[in-house]
Structure formats: C-alpha cells, structure tokens
Amino acid sequence: MKQFAIRIVCCISIILLVVATGCIAPPQENATASKTGSTAGGNQLIPGTTETPSYVTDVTPFVTSTPTGVYRTIVSATPVPQDIYCRIYAITNTFAYNKTAVSFNLQYPPMYINYTVKPTNVTYWDYIDTKITGEKEKRVKVDKYSPDSWFEVTVRSKLNPDEIYLKEGFGTAKGYNTYLNNTLKILNRDDMQIEFYGNGITATASVWVKPEGNFDDTTQFNMTTDCAYFASNPRNVVYIATTKATATPTYRAQ
C-alpha cells in the first residue's frame, strides 16, 4: 500500500512538470521585421552598416591629387630705379671747433645725410655709494665719452640763412643724442647749404640725392660704387634718426 502511494505521488509530480514546461513560450521574432531581415518600411538592412539619414545624399568622393612637395619661391620686389640715391659729397675730418660747408640745389627731394662719429673718451676716478649698510664708498674708474666731444649737422637755405631746415648731431654738450651713426632725411626743396661742425671728435659724413630730377646727366655716377637704395619712409618728417650704438659709461672697481 505504501509503495502504491509513492508511485501515485511520482506520477502526479511528472504530470505537473510537463504541464509547467508547456506553458513557457519560445521567444518570438520582432513583429516589425520579416524573416529576410527587412524592416516594416521595406528597406533591407545590411549587417555592419547604418541607414543613411534622409537629410544627406550619397555622392561619389572627389579624387584628390597627392601633394608633390614643391614649394613656391617668393621673389623680392626689384627696387625702382627712381628710388636710387647717389653720393654727391663725402668728408672725413677731425674737428676742433672747425666748420666745413657745401651747397647743393636740391630740386628733387629727399636728401639723405649719413654720418659716423668717433668721439673722444675721458677716464677718471670717482666714488660711488654702494648703499650697503656698513660698507664704505667704492673708488671706481669711469670711462665715457667726453662731454666736450660733439658733432653737428646744419642744413639751411643758402639764399635765406635764417631758414634752417635741420640741425641734428651727436653729443650731450649740444643737447643731442649719443648715437654713433645717424641717417638724416631732408624733404624740403631749396638751394641748400650743408654745414658740418664739431669739436674733440672725428666724423665721416656723406650726402646722398636722387640722380633723376637733380642732374641732367646721370651717367657721371658709377651706379655700383657711388649709388645705393635707401629704405623708403612715407612719413612727412624732417629727419630720421636710427640708432646704431649708444654710449654707455663703464665702471671698474679699484
């Protein structure tokens, strides 16, 4: 009797297991997709690609050439022949309160005057305060340009000497800078008198003008050795000063 009851329980368990298994439905395919892999709209999808958005259009890419590595050379502009200037005067002199003057009828400005100076140096001993507590003044050797060393260029009207177009030069004694090299530019048209004046200094100066417009015969100039191109400057100024070297006193402790 006991064995019969066990058999009945086993049969009931098996029946219940089969019934439970039959209630689990297999997963269904997407209702919007067919067995061929197309969407409800009928556009076939290819694995590994995405559908092109509707706001763009497929086109064939342009074929571009491979760079050859060739570089373009920028050619410098050729100076205009009318911008060439020729030297009409040059002087090298040691000045000791002496003056030299020349004149030129400038019909086609500008005119450039370039000069280089070699001033006289002075050396003396001086004392400086180190401003360090407990330390005494130091005796130093000073080497600088002499205050009595100066050079001056004056450009005035030859017919009206009181009409001065330019006065510039080197030396603090005259209120000028201490540039060892200067280039001056005169824009006025007149019969010019150019004066070089100085003291305690050796100076080399030269005057440059355009051959065209100032000379009827320009063949007298050697364009290779007597002429040069100056950097153009459109500003309406009387002179242009360019720094080449500035005096700086030196101090050596003793």
pLDDT of residue 77: 54
Whole-prediction pTM value? 0.58
The least confident of 66-70, 207-211, 232-236 is 232-236
Q: What percent of the chain has pLDDT over 90?
A: 41
Kindly state the tokens that stand for 122. 């002075």
Find the mean pLDDT for residues 5-17: 66
Kindly state the tokens that stand for 119. 């001033």
Residue 182 has pLDDT above 50, yes or no: yes
pLDDT in tens, 226-236: 898 887 653 33
Please name each of the domains of the chain with its CATH number: 83-119+145-253 (2.60.120)
